[in-house]
Amino acid sequence: MTSSTSSVGTAAPKLRLGGDDGWGYAPAPESTDHVELRDRYGLFIDGEFTDAADGRTFETANPATEEKIADVALASDTDVDRAVAAARRAYDEVWSKLAPQERGKYVYRIARVLQERSRELAITESLDGGKPIRESRDVDIPLAAAHFFYYAGWADKLNYAFPGRGARALGVAGQVIPWNFPLLMAAWKIAPAIAAGNTVVLKPAETTPLTALKLAEIIRDAGVPPGVVNIVTGAGETGASVVQHDGVDKVAFTGSTEVGKLIRRALAGSGKHYTLELGGKAANLVFEDAAVDQAVEGIINGIFFNQGHVCCAGSRLLVQESVADEVISKLKDRMETLIVGDPLDKNTDIGAINSRAQLDRIEEYLEIGAAEGAEPFQTPCPLPERGYWCRPTLFLRASQSHRVVQEEIFGPVLAVQTFRTVDEGIAMANNTPYGLSGGVWSDKGAKAFRVTSRIRAGVLWANTYNKFDPTAPFGGYKESGIGREGGLSGLHAYLQPEEAA
Amino acid sequence: MEPHAQTADSGPQAAPFASPSIDAVGVEERVARLCSRSIKKEAKLQALHLALSMIDLTTLEGADSEGKVRQLCAKALQLHAALPDLPHVAAVCVYPALVGVAKRALEGSGIHVASVATSFPAGQAPLEIKLLEVKRAVEAGADEVDMVISRGRFLAGDLAYTADEIASVKEACGDAHLKVILETGELGALDAIRRASDLAMRSGADFIKTSTGKIKPAATMPVVLVMLEAIRDHYLRTGQRIGMKPAGGISTAKDAIRHLVMVRETLGQDWLDPDLYRFGASSLANDVLRQIVKQRSGIYQSFDDFSM
């Protein structure tokens, strides 16, 4: 037996000195055998799939291989007109007249079919968007089904939404969703809307339309009356057309703050209801009394979940100076074990960046951060040759005045700063135009409550991060948006009290 | 790096150091994520061989006899006649009275003889008697001694007693390696397990070990993760590589592979070595053998095809 107490000399001991030669993990790709993907997808309007009126299409590709998956119909104003008209007709003639418990049955049915087809949906999500199968399988799809289950239960209980006042739907909802959680965002939008009695026109993101179109198949197969859910695919112009359409009573948008501001301007004076869920630059505050190893895990989940393409990502690490060296060294070591690569491999931790455009944007910030004087750190993990990839990155010694601290990067890039006192930590956390989310790590319960109550953000996690549940409201302060999704608040966004109707 | 101080140990016997606090919910989440690693094909076969080489083949029954121990040693020497190219197990673990029998049976094989001692499993005996038992086991040829800590004194807050007890046993071990059994199933909380791990490593343990196998729960994944993190922090602070031995409850190849994943990601490749990682188990070996046969031939064989 060799000595287990050998000293390593004067240099500070370091783990993984010998690299990772030895026992490793073989590729474990999820099989795509029984996933049916068509070469061409149409718009889903009035219960049927149709081509765009002008026949135009766009391509959706796999960001891990840069290969085209399918041609998808590109909806113009004419198509959006048709979709809104179908939604209006369905609302007036069918959906608003249906007994609430019958409406609930349809929503439950969608939830169950999502579960039944979960494997196929998870694989499609990873193929089209680049996220690791571990996440699409364990997070996106189960949560999407959970949202339908949760709001299905509300369908026949709307009189309890505004106790004593009664409630009714708004009418036709125009909804525009982003590419980071394609099916989950569709569920967040569609489930409360139709459970509350509205009909919808939803536009998925142009880089990730496929799971929304599979959801359209599910909705059709579930026998949901034609026109209750319409899905129009396309890019920004299609989205603008949906949002600005006169026939839309309510707008729900999730995406960038830039576009959110345009929408709010466009809606001014229109009388339309709206909710906006926009960008974020959340602080994850680690105090000296935190359980360090679990905090490090939370930091990892906070920023590297879904390649950092998360509006509520913990993209700023604020760590108390007295434990900063320990936390940062453990964080670096943990980063060494992250596997970047094939989204369909069950062992992949960080998948592909969603698009060339997004990768360009992230890489621009990598240059900006270094030029500003922050100290970049990346692990030397191997990357595939084709596709869009970004190594997990830290910017150490970042400062409040740096753009990489102020601006949303939407990638696996964490700005690391230190603070000395509780008050200073809170002040730094709040010194941002955003206010979507945040995290606090402390073993002291009283401190966790006191600090979270002083951070101006819609969602705060204590000793955990990125926890989502359909019963919990989600949404932001300041430039992170207006309104809440999820829970009873998310239902209110699709209802009005009876007397106001 | 010194673990930062925040949990003040109460009472006059407080340890001269403070262990970091542990968030049990976070530990369970980390374990769940580690368990989601998918180990297939060549990686699986390699892991199975590695696991086999880390096993302390164990018999710790009141009914153990010379015949039973000779049979166990024979199994250690020839795990599966149909597969002569397998690695051998790390050690055979027996009671002190049977160390001599095991030593003779394993002579020249490279397989170590480990002996439990210190009034295993309860540890409820005067220290002099425990030390005498350790010395007798080592005189009889034990290469490794698996001691139990006095959990009663530890839980009563008498950390200094526990530290002195471990140091005394270490001294009595001489050249034999010392594994310190914390009996984590009796310690109640991950914070206590972390503190006991730190205490044992600072007091002379070569290995820290979860359990006697007589108490449930034994080597659960969250407990082992907390101990691995303690080993990592001790190494980063001192440069000393302490070994880890989960024991009790690991009976399938699947469990063993999950442990190897956890070791690899927490401590790195260095610890994927029988000198620094062991499985204390009585039934694990045959499940690993059966999986090796399955990986090689594609067919699961009956358990009766594997010797006891």
- Residues contacting A30, CB < 8 A, separation 6+: A122, A123, A126, A133, A137, A344, A345, A346
Comparing alpha-carbon positions, the chain B residue that sits nearest to A335 is: B265
As given in the structure block, the two tokens for residue A335 are: 């980063």
Q: How many CB pairs under 8 A join A and B?
A: 127
Q: Check residue A9 and give its pLDDT.
A: 47
Comparing alpha-carbon positions, the chain A residue that sits nearest to B90 is: A1
DSSP state of B43: H
pTM: 0.94
Cis peptide before B96 (omega within 30 of 0): no
A336 is catalytic: no
Helices (H) and strands (E) in chain B, counts: 11, 8
Residues of A in contact with B30 (CB under 8 A): 293-294, 297
As given in the structure block, the two tokens for residue B297 are: 């031939």
Rounded-to-integer distance, Cα B108 and Cα A310, Å: 60
User: Would strands A43-45 and A48-50 be described as parallel, antiparallel, or unpaired?
Assistant: antiparallel
The ipTM of this complex is: 0.93
Amino acid making up residue A207: T
- A40-278+479-500 CATH, one of 3.30.365.10, 3.40.605.10, 3.40.30.10, 2.40.30.10: 3.40.605.10
Residues of A in contact with B20 (CB under 8 A): 291-293
Q: Which residues pair with A168 in a beta bridge?
A: A496
Could you tell me the CA-to-CA distances from B94 to A485, A497, B62 in Å, in that order?
Answer: 61, 75, 11
Nearest to A284 by CA among A408, A16, A136, A465: A465
Residue A403's φ and ψ, nearest 5 degrees, are: -65, -30
Comparing alpha-carbon positions, the chain A residue that sits nearest to B23 is: A291
Could you tell me the CA-to-CA distances from B61 to A87, A232, B91, B146 in Å, in that order?
Answer: 74, 71, 17, 15
Nearest to B110 by CA among B275, B238, B226: B275
3-state SS, A408-475, equals CCCCCEEEEEEECCHHHHHHHHHCCCCCCEEEEECCCHHHHHHHHHHCCCCEEEECCCCCCCCCCCEC
Residues of A in contact with B239 (CB under 8 A): 6-8, 13
Amino acid making up residue B88: H
- What is the b/e burial string over B219-256, where b = at least 16 CB atoms within 10 angstroms of the residue's CB? bbbbbbbbbbbbbbbbbbbebbbbbbbbbbbbbebebb
Residues of each domain in chain A carrying CATH 3.40.309.10: 283-470
Instruction: Answer whether A233's CB lies under 8 Å from A41's CB.
Output: yes
Which contacts (CB < 8 Å, 24+ apart) does range A93-98 have? A94/A225, A94/A227, A94/A228, A95/A194, A95/A197, A95/A198, A95/A199, A95/A225, A95/A228, A96/A169, A96/A197, A98/A225
Residues of A in contact with B25 (CB under 8 A): 294, 463-464
Which of A2, A4, A321, A323 would you mutate first to test chain B, the one with the most B CBs within 10 A? A4
Nearest to B181 by CA among B250, B233, B249, B122: B122
Residues of each domain in chain A carrying CATH 3.40.605.10: 40-278+479-500
Q: What is the CA radius of gyration of chain B?
A: 19
- Predicted confidence (pLDDT) per residue in B34-66, tens digit: 999 999 999 999 999 999 999 999 999 999 999
Rounded-to-integer distance, Cα B276 and Cα A368, Å: 45
- Predicted confidence (pLDDT) per residue in B236-288, tens digit: 999 999 999 999 999 999 999 999 999 999 999 999 999 999 999 889 999 99
Nearest to A161 by CA among A190, A197, A205: A197
Catalytic residue list of B: 146, 209, 245
As given in the structure block, the two tokens for residue A132 are: 């690791």
Q: Check residue B48 and give its pLDDT.
A: 98
Quick check: B265 and A292 CB within 8 A?
no
Which of B236, B238, B242 would you mutate first to test chain A, the one with the most A CBs within 10 A? B236
As given in the structure block, the two tokens for residue A455 are: 């951070």
Sign of CA dihedral A200, A206, A207, A210: positive
| ∠ CA A327-A440-A395, rounded to 5° | 45
* DSSP H helices in chain B: 24-35, 41-53, 66-77, 99-106, 127-139, 151-155, 159-173, 190-202, 221-238, 253-267, 284-297
User: Would strands A273-277 and A459-462 be described as parallel, antiparallel, or unpaired?
Assistant: unpaired
Query: pLDDT per position in chain B (308 positions), as tens?
Result: 344 443 444 444 445 678 999 999 999 999 999 999 999 999 999 999 999 999 999 999 999 999 999 999 999 999 999 999 999 999 999 999 999 999 999 999 999 999 999 999 999 999 999 999 999 999 999 999 999 999 999 999 999 999 999 999 999 999 999 999 999 999 999 999 999 999 999 999 999 999 999 999 999 999 999 999 999 999 999 999 999 999 999 999 999 999 999 999 999 999 999 999 999 988 999 999 999 999 999 999 999 999 98
Closest CA–CA distance from residue B261 to any residue of chain A (Å) = 9
| ∠ CA B243-B247-B252, rounded to 5° | 115
B 269-298 → A contacts, CB under 8 A: 269-270, 272, 275-276
CA torsion, ordered A163, A165, A170, A171, to nearest 10 deg = 110
Could you tell me the CA-to-CA distances from A270 to A81, A189, B1, B77 in Å, in that order?
Answer: 18, 21, 61, 84
As given in the structure block, the two tokens for residue A53 are: 């009126």
Query: pLDDT per position in chain A (501 positions), as tens?
Result: 344 444 444 578 888 876 777 899 999 999 999 899 999 999 999 999 999 999 999 999 999 999 999 999 999 999 999 999 999 999 999 999 999 999 999 999 999 999 999 999 999 999 999 999 999 999 999 999 999 999 999 999 999 998 888 899 999 999 999 999 999 999 999 999 999 999 999 999 999 999 999 999 999 999 999 999 999 999 999 999 999 999 999 999 999 999 999 999 999 999 999 999 999 999 999 999 999 999 999 999 999 999 999 999 999 999 999 999 999 999 999 999 999 999 999 999 999 999 999 999 999 999 999 999 999 999 999 999 999 999 999 999 999 999 999 999 999 999 999 999 999 999 999 999 999 999 999 999 999 999 999 999 999 999 999 999 999 999 999 999 999 999 999 999 999 998 754
Rounded-to-integer distance, Cα A407 and Cα A434, Å: 9
Q: Check residue B176 and give its pLDDT.
A: 98
Interchain CB contact of A321 with B (< 8 Å): no
3-state SS, B45-56, equals HHHHHHHHHCEE
| ∠ CA A491-A283-A414, rounded to 5° | 115
B 57-76 → A contacts, CB under 8 A: none
Residue A469's φ and ψ, nearest 5 degrees, are: -155, 140
* N-term to C-term CA, chain A: 81
CATH of domain A283-470: 3.40.309.10
Q: What is the CA radius of gyration of chain A?
A: 23
Quick check: A291 and B22 CB within 8 A?
yes
- Domains annotated for chain B, with CATH where assigned, are 24-32+40-296 (3.20.20.70)
Say which of A30, A311, A381, A407 is annotated catalytic.
Answer: A311
